[in-house]
Structure 1
Amino acid sequence: MSLVVYMASFLLALAAILLRRPRRTPRSPLSIATRATAFIAAVCFFWSAPVTLAAVNHATGIPNVGAPLTYGSISALSCSLIILLIHWKGGPQEQIRRMTRLVVAVYGTLILAIVVLFSLADAHTERLTDLDTYYANTPFMREMITLYLMGHLASTIVLSAVCLKWARDEVTGLLRLGLRLILVGLLLDALGFTVAKVTAVVARWMGYDLDFLSTTVAPPAAALGALVYSAGFVLPRLASAAAAERQSLATYRALRPLWSAVKDVATAPPVAEPTWWQLWWQLPSSRVYLLEANIRDALLQLTAYIDQRVGRTAFEAAVERGEQRAEARVAAEKAMIIDGIRRASGKGDGPADPPEKFRVTIDLVELAHAVDRLREAASAPDQVKARRRQVSDTDVRS
């Protein structure tokens, strides 16, 4: 049984690692809640493995001390699932914070009660797999077991009701698939774990022995259910993250011509530009961040080559074409930067007339497209000349 539980713990920990955000991206409450839930679930399964329980009991010298540790982590998981659902639903930030504080207060009190009840109970016989049923009639242990099962069942009911309501709404795509996975996972958890445990404990209260439900059915059902509903929570987020990374990759490729045009102007070393052998593991969003920082630094160093007369001419021409003033300012800035790149490479005519202050406000991708078109236009005559030389050489040989 420990192998199954450890496998679930490993997969959930892996999900928490894969959901990490790039270091320079803004912190997202939903991202934090998702990773925290996956991490708590991994810890929960790790503590509940019989091998871990035996090690904890032996290390502390307290029989069954792993029980409140496991039950507390299960309650923490129930709490984190509800908090994740609150952030997933969204809404006013103040309402989200208020509901989050309420859930934390309720389950924090539950965890504290579990610890207190265990400290008051008489549980000196170590039980690694059947503690729930073995101590089902023991004072304080009975209440502790009931509390954690009811707390977990309550979270399952709340999550199922909300997800069922959302599934009936007009949701499509991966969000609908995620909701269905959550419902399936919660059903496995509710029937396979909680109901099985409660049935086994109640059977003990009535003098019957249905311990196999608690020891054989519940653990693998809980592991499978946790994996399924965790996938339901994670899948939509992974999909949106993948879409964002695809967009970042397209942006990175679009900016490369601009960086090629301005990198020789930069006098400072690039901002932590990755080497070629590091690029394979860096996320495209991280690459874009570094590339944009390097481009902006290089563009600021172009100030000495910027000619504001070029900007005025481009602005007036854009206004005459009927463009809005904002669009005309963009055209003027683009013209000054492109002219500055030419002057920095030694292709300008006459000295520049730089402005007193120059700030890059233009979209870098738009600027990169303009630079790329200019390069293609400049290289067209050379290509024509090369083709003519090839034709001439062929005629001479013939």
Structure 2
Amino acid sequence: MSLVVYLAAGALALSAAVLFRRPRTTAGKPSALRNPLTVSTCVAIALGAVVFLCSAPMTLAAVNDLTGIPNFGAPLTYGLLSAYSCSLLILLINWRGGPRERVRRLVLRSIAAYGPLIVAIVVLFALADARVERLTDLDTYYANTPYMREMIVLYLLGHSAVMVAMAVVCVRWGREVTGLLRTGLRLIFVGALVDVVGFQLAKYTAVVARWTGHDLDFLSTKVAPPMASLAALICSAGFVLPRLLPAAVGHWRGLRDYRKLDPLWLRVGFVSTAPKPPASWWQLPEERLHWREVAIHDALLALAPYFDDRVRERALSAALGDGRSAHEARVAAEAAMLAAAARRAAAREEPLRTPSTYRLHATEVSGAGGLVELAQALRAPLEVP
């Protein structure tokens, strides 16, 4: 069981790391550390990972040995689970948004509710007699033990309240939104439902069975843990998907355009004087694309004195004669003029006495689209008579 729980913890930690790794210099957007939604999302997912890490039997045994207190891992795990539940509420509050004062008030109320709950869990454990170490069946083994019984019920009720509240909010909010946000809310609802039915109901049933003199421990030890892992992963996907997918699509397009600019960069890169960014393997594709755009525009500016209108006009006539559209012919002609200018610059020839004042299409439009068109035209050069 430890392996399954560790895998869930690793997946959650990776989700938090990926979400936190965002561009910090994007205009008009706060950095990750200043964005309450990003911070609350990362904290909630990271806490979920820590809960799974601490709940693994191997970790519980290590914690008990380290502290010298049998079952010390129980209040630690249950306290962290309550903190995780509180973080989910705070995340949902920040995600839903609204007036700043209202959001702040709701966040403080959540902390005020779950802070005492965590303290109560620790106090109840301290008052209980739990000398026999139980790594997998503590909830059912101590279901009838004074104070331990109350502690177990308390942490379950605290977690149940959050999951039910999340399910209700997701259903209501899902009726008001569309697109990725609705998809994310549906995933969260499914995750909450899996948690309530697969984890909490299994735990409640096993504990109540012990109260009535029956043995359904397998529900608590075999069914509940994997269901909790699955529920947490689905909920995390619901929170992360609406925020990461648009960025992932943007980075994919950035990587695609970056590679499509290779023919243009290989042709003109030697004259660019744009300062190179620090090399880093974790640099995002959009950041690389932005630097390459700047460097190429710098190179085009340096090659402008070599632009020959006669080359462009001959190429334009040839392209139109081949049946290309006006726009395609213009780009092909510009590519031919640019290729000739790059050859003269590479041969260290003198610039033209009367340089062209013509502006390339790629310099008239924003974004990488114009440069990509020019690069693709250079990939298949036009034969100029």
AA at the equivalent of 2:208:
V
Against the structure 1 CA distance between its residues 373 and 239, is the aligned structure 2 distance closer, same or farther, given a 3 Å change threshold? closer
Q: Distance in 2 between matches of 1:292 and 1:93?
A: 39
Q: CA deviation at 1:348?
A: 5.1
Aligned position for 1:155: 162
- Contact persistence 2:9–2:53 (CA under 8 A): yes
State yes or no: 1:243 paired with 2:244.
no
- Note if contact 1:272-1:290 (Cα within 8 Å) is conserved in structure 2: no
Match of 2:174 among 164, 167, 170: 167
1:348/1:151 CA distance change after superposition, 3 Å: farther
- In the other structure, the counterpart of 2:319 is none
Residues 1:370 and 1:129: Cα distance change in structure 2 (over 3 Å): closer
The question of 1:74 aligning with 2:74 is answered: no
**2:94 aligned partner:** 87
Quick one: which amino acid aligns to residue 13 of structure 2? A
- Is residue 36 of structure 1 aligned with residue 43 of structure 2? yes
Amino acid at match of 1:111: I
Q: Percent identity?
A: 53
Q: Deviations over 1:209-266 (max 9, x none)?
A: 4333322322222122222222222333332122221343366468768867875555
Q: Which runs of 5+ in 2 are unaligned?
A: 26-30, 306-340, 356-362
Of structures 1 and 2, the larger Rg is shown by 1
Does the aligned pair in 1 maintain the 2:274–2:294 contact within 8 Å?
no
Aligned to 2:351: 347
2:106 paired with 1:99: yes
In the alignment, the residues of structure 1 paired with residue 104 and residue 175 of structure 2 have an alpha-carbon distance, to the nearest angstrom, of: 26
Q: Distance in 2 between matches of 1:373 and 1:230?
A: 41
Counterpart of 1:52 in structure 2 is 59
Structure 1 residue identity aligned to 2:36? P
1:358-377 mapped onto 2 (5 Å cutoff): 363=366, 365=368, 368=371
Query: Cα–Cα, structure 1 residues 116 and 254, in superposed 2: closer, same or farther, change >3 Å?
Result: same
3-state SS in 2 of match to 1:148: helix
Out of 193, 197, 214, which is 2:199 matched to? Answer: 193
Which position in structure 1 is the counterpart of 2:11? 11
CA RMSD of aligned residues (A): 4.1
CA offsets, 1:338-358, max 9 Å, x none? xxxx8x96535479xxxxxxx
Counterpart for residue 287 of structure 1: 288
Q: Distance in 2 between matches of 1:169 and 1:89?
A: 11
- In structure 2, do the counterparts of structure 1 residues 3 and 369 end up closer, same or farther at CA, with 3 Å as the change threshold? closer
Q: C-alpha offsets along residues 108-163 of structure 1, whole Å, 9 cap, x if unaligned?
A: 33222222222232221111122122222333322222221111001011100011
TM-score (normalised: structure 2): 0.71
CA contact (8 A) 1:273 1:290 kept: no
The answer on whether the counterparts of 1:132 and 1:201 sit within 8 Å (CA) in structure 2 is: yes
Query: How many Å separate the matches in 2 of 1:292 and 1:35?
Result: 32
Does the 8 A contact of 2:274 with 2:295 survive in 1? no
- Find 1:110's aligned residue among 108, 117, 132: 117
Q: What letter corresponds to residue 233 of structure 1 in structure 2?
A: F
C-alpha separation in 2, matches of 1:206 and 1:237: 47
| Aligned partner of residue 125 in structure 1, secondary structure | coil
- Quote the Cα distance in structure 2 between the aligned partners of 1:370 and 1:127: 66
Q: How many residues align?
A: 338
Structure-to-structure mapping, 1:219-368, within 5 angstroms: 219-249=225-255, 252=258, 263-267=269-273, 269-272=275-278, 282-291=283-292, 294=295, 298=298, 346-347=350-351, 349=353, 363=366, 365=368, 368=371
Distance 1:260 1:98, change over 3 A: farther
